[in-house]
Chain A
């Protein structure tokens, strides 16, 4: 059975000024099975962030539904939504979204603290993850004292520390240079290798070539998808670029 089922999602924004409506998503359906690494690509304004926010239960669709492990998002009462989010979903944002008032360690622990995890358990979890992501030395620093790549790694640590069913990332490499992007993507690949399910929005074909499948969105519609199959990164990258040129958008880098 699929881990995540997306059924006929539609999203219409009502802009406050004027009566104009903005259709951000139209009848988007797809499934993600456990352990997959899916990249979502599309031109700017095509609805990627909108889709991800809905999958993250941060926003509600106008039509359609999302099911995680067979549980419909629509069936979860508002009150329990944040708990559901805390338990089952992890996010990484383009601009890190770390809190300046916490050290990296406390930022990473935040979801666990909210879940009232025992102290010992928290300590046991944070160190291995930090080591894996190479930020063990930085745990006691504040976000404004570390580099962008390090911040993003802390954000990943925060996202995975609860051991979520699925990891959602919105342009996680957007604010990083190519070197830190590559090291970050390798970390995603490592997480994928140990069986994590990852859904990542990206502009860059380079980033998408780390995934096992790429979905292409155009003007709110699921346009096409590519499976990696047995390809190596490079070959997959070439196919993505070729597909993008048909779509007419996206960065090559």
Chain B
């Protein structure tokens, strides 16, 4: 009976304070939906089965961990904001005689409703939206045939676990907050300024040093191959530094600006700088999160895009010659010479021509040129002279020209007729660019698909954060600008300072993202080498292009959310 009472009170509270709870519900739904989709992708069979999928999986798993961390932080941030608004109500309960234990119980129920409801909505979003997105992207990018959209049980378990954690943390912190405060403090705590952390300057300096160090390291160090062991720690350092700089560095810079009186006491600067203090104290976390999310987005998209666009070059890199046909070790020189003619005959039957261009062979690496797979240095001692093709190190090498289909049929013909020439080893070992191309395109298409999927999800979260920030700031700023107008600030000035503050807040994360990308570009290029992609130009172009596209998109988001803000402020 009594328990039912709290349950009812909580339910009616949630219904009544729709305006405060709705953003929380929406946030829970979006975050849980997005998390579920990412986890679902990670555990999907398609991901584990693709060649080289392990590396991609490790990268995406890292993304998932970072994202989980953000989810927790973001949910705490929203909860914090919400509870601040409701403290007054709790104080009132206390004065009306509901004791703290009971208030606590009501809170537990309320939180359960909202997070529970949000997660259910999230699952629905993931299933509906996820499928639509999947189909859409399938149309745009050619993926390995037979891919389907299924979210595995593990993904559900992981998501539910994460949100259970969020529920526990928020509930406990809310209950503690209600318990430790007396009603008077609760009643008056709605409007209170925020104090700065003590170790502001050292933390800001630490952030700058970490970031500088990470940049320097990323720019100067040659990493061998994929080197996830280097990339992950570096990424963590950059994330940490970003947070430190947004949280503490920004305040320190503003303090320095404020100390410079001739600058500070200018009409526009005066209002802008003090307004920025307020904004950075309130939103630094959200902005840093946006910066990290967008950096991850640009890294993922530009990386997968580079691979997709560079797939021909990569395949070419692995195959200096179109095809390579091995000859059993036991084969005699005569057998090898005869086989040269066999290959030519098969080619003629399949409407393709064979070419073996000896000038492609480099016996000595030119001065100053890097080693790459496709300027392989050939050792002259292991050649065998054959009439038309090249025989090197146990296998025939040659280029094939003809239609793609004929080439594939020709390769198949070699396989079919192999045992006629070498009966003692009937299983042919051959590798060719045509087969690899067909497989590889599917794989890189799949990666790009994953990248695009991630991008959309990250973007959804970024939009959510931005929108949330705009709305909450709008209400606060409305009051501040009212006062400014009463004190004699004219409309033009108000508009100008609003604009400059909003612009700063919006483009700070974008600028930081661009800077991160500049320094990350080299490491990304190096990592892509382990996929045989050596084209610096292409990688830079992809990074630049993605950044540009993201900037445009971000600007679009900014315009739409800023409209909400202005509507609130200038009413």
Question: Which residues of A does B touch, CB under 8 Å?
Answer: 56, 58, 79, 81-83, 85-87, 91, 93, 97-102, 106, 109-111, 113-114, 116, 119, 122, 142-145, 158
Q: Across the interface, which residues of B come within 8 angstroms of A81, CB to CB? A: 490
Closest to A116 in B: B267
Most buried by B among A93, A116, A144: A144
Q: Across the interface, which residues of A come within 8 angstroms of B267, CB to CB? A: 113-114, 116
Question: Which residues of B does A touch, CB under 8 Å?
Answer: 191-193, 261-262, 265-267, 270, 274-275, 277-278, 480, 483-491, 493
Closest to A123 in B: B261
A113–B265 CB distance below 8 A: yes
A82–B488 CB distance below 8 A: yes
Q: Across the interface, which residues of A come within 8 angstroms of B266, CB to CB? A: 113, 116
Q: How many A-B residue pairs have CB under 8 A?
A: 65
From residue B14, how far is it (CB to closest CB) to chain A in Å? Answer: 28
From residue B221, how far is it (CB to closest CB) to chain A in Å? Answer: 43
Q: Across the interface, which residues of B come within 8 angstroms of A144, CB to CB? A: 191-193
B270–A82 CB distance below 8 A: no
Choice from A85, A97, A109, A122 contacting B483 with Cβ under 8 Å? A97
From residue A141, how far is it (CB to closest CB) to chain B in Å? Answer: 10
A114–B483 CB distance below 8 A: no
A102–B274 CB distance below 8 A: yes
Most buried by A among B191, B265, B488: B488
Q: Across the interface, which residues of A come within 8 angstroms of B485, CB to CB? A: 82
- Complexed CA–CA distance, A10 and B404 (Å): 88
Sample 14 A-B pairs with CB under 8 A, ordered by A number: A58-B486, A83-B488, A85-B488, A86-B488, A91-B487, A97-B486, A99-B483, A100-B191, A114-B267, A114-B270, A116-B266, A143-B193, A144-B193, A145-B193
B278–A110 CB distance below 8 A: no
- Complexed CA–CA distance, A87 and B267 (Å): 15
A142–B193 CB distance below 8 A: yes
A111–B488 CB distance below 8 A: yes
Q: Across the interface, which residues of B come within 8 angstroms of A91, CB to CB? A: 486-487
- Complexed CA–CA distance, A109 and B484 (Å): 12
Choice from B265, B278, B491 contacting A100 with Cβ under 8 Å? B278
From residue B29, how far is it (CB to closest CB) to chain A in Å? Answer: 33
From residue A80, how far is it (CB to closest CB) to chain B in Å? Answer: 9
- Complexed CA–CA distance, A93 and B487 (Å): 11
Interface of B, helix, strand, loop or mixed by DSSP:
helix
Q: Across the interface, which residues of A come within 8 angstroms of B265, CB to CB? A: 109, 113, 119, 122
B277–A101 CB distance below 8 A: yes
Interface of A, helix, strand, loop or mixed by DSSP:
helix
Q: Across the interface, which residues of A come within 8 angstroms of B483, CB to CB? A: 97-99
A114–B493 CB distance below 8 A: yes
Starting from the known contacts A93-B486, A101-B480, 15 additional A-B residue pairs (CB-CB under 8 Å) come to: A56-B486, A82-B485, A82-B489, A83-B488, A85-B488, A97-B486, A100-B193, A101-B277, A109-B265, A116-B267, A119-B262, A122-B265, A143-B193, A144-B191, A144-B192
Choice from B277, B487, B491 contacting A158 with Cβ under 8 Å? B487
B274–A101 CB distance below 8 A: yes
Q: Across the interface, which residues of A come within 8 angstroms of B489, CB to CB? A: 82, 114
- Complexed CA–CA distance, A107 and B7 (Å): 47
- Complexed CA–CA distance, A142 and B265 (Å): 17
- Complexed CA–CA distance, A56 and B487 (Å): 10
- Complexed CA–CA distance, A81 and B486 (Å): 11
Closest to A162 in B: B488
Q: Across the interface, which residues of B come within 8 angstroms of A114, CB to CB? A: 267, 270, 487-489, 493
From residue A171, how far is it (CB to closest CB) to chain B in Å? Answer: 15
- Complexed CA–CA distance, A85 and B483 (Å): 13
Given A97-B486, A122-B265, A144-B191; A82-B278 close (CB under 8 Å): no
B274–A106 CB distance below 8 A: yes
Q: Across the interface, which residues of B come within 8 angstroms of A85, CB to CB? A: 488
- Complexed CA–CA distance, A33 and B262 (Å): 39
From residue B273, how far is it (CB to closest CB) to chain A in Å? Answer: 9
Q: Across the interface, which residues of B come within 8 angstroms of A142, CB to CB? A: 193
From residue A3, how far is it (CB to closest CB) to chain B in Å? Answer: 19
Closest to A87 in B: B488
Q: Across the interface, which residues of A come within 8 angstroms of B493, CB to CB? A: 114
Most buried by B among A114, A119, A144: A114
- Complexed CA–CA distance, A125 and B370 (Å): 71
From residue B258, how far is it (CB to closest CB) to chain A in Å? Answer: 9
From residue B485, how far is it (CB to closest CB) to chain A in Å? Answer: 7
Closest to B492 in A: A79
A110–B270 CB distance below 8 A: yes
- Complexed CA–CA distance, A19 and B303 (Å): 62
Q: Across the interface, which residues of B come within 8 angstroms of A113, CB to CB? A: 265-267, 270
A82–B490 CB distance below 8 A: yes
Q: Across the interface, which residues of B come within 8 angstroms of A87, CB to CB? A: 488
From residue A76, how far is it (CB to closest CB) to chain B in Å? Answer: 12
From residue B254, how far is it (CB to closest CB) to chain A in Å? Answer: 11
- The 7 nearest A-B residue pairs measured at CB: A86-B488, A82-B490, A144-B193, A101-B274, A101-B278, A85-B488, A113-B270
Given A102-B274, A106-B270, A114-B493; A119-B261 close (CB under 8 Å): yes
From residue B201, how far is it (CB to closest CB) to chain A in Å? Answer: 19
Q: Across the interface, which residues of B come within 8 angstroms of A86, CB to CB? A: 487-488
- Complexed CA–CA distance, A83 and B485 (Å): 10
Closest to A86 in B: B488
Q: Across the interface, which residues of B come within 8 angstroms of A102, CB to CB? A: 274
Choice from B270, B278, B490 contacting A83 with Cβ under 8 Å? B490
Q: Across the interface, which residues of A come within 8 angstroms of B261, CB to CB? A: 119
Closest to A122 in B: B265
From residue A117, how far is it (CB to closest CB) to chain B in Å? Answer: 8
- Complexed CA–CA distance, A83 and B488 (Å): 6
Q: Across the interface, which residues of A come within 8 angstroms of B193, CB to CB? A: 100, 142-145
Closest to B269 in A: A113
Given A106-B270, A113-B270, A119-B262; A99-B480 close (CB under 8 Å): yes
Most buried by B among A81, A91, A102, A145: A102
B487–A111 CB distance below 8 A: yes
Closest to B476 in A: A100
From residue A85, how far is it (CB to closest CB) to chain B in Å? Answer: 5
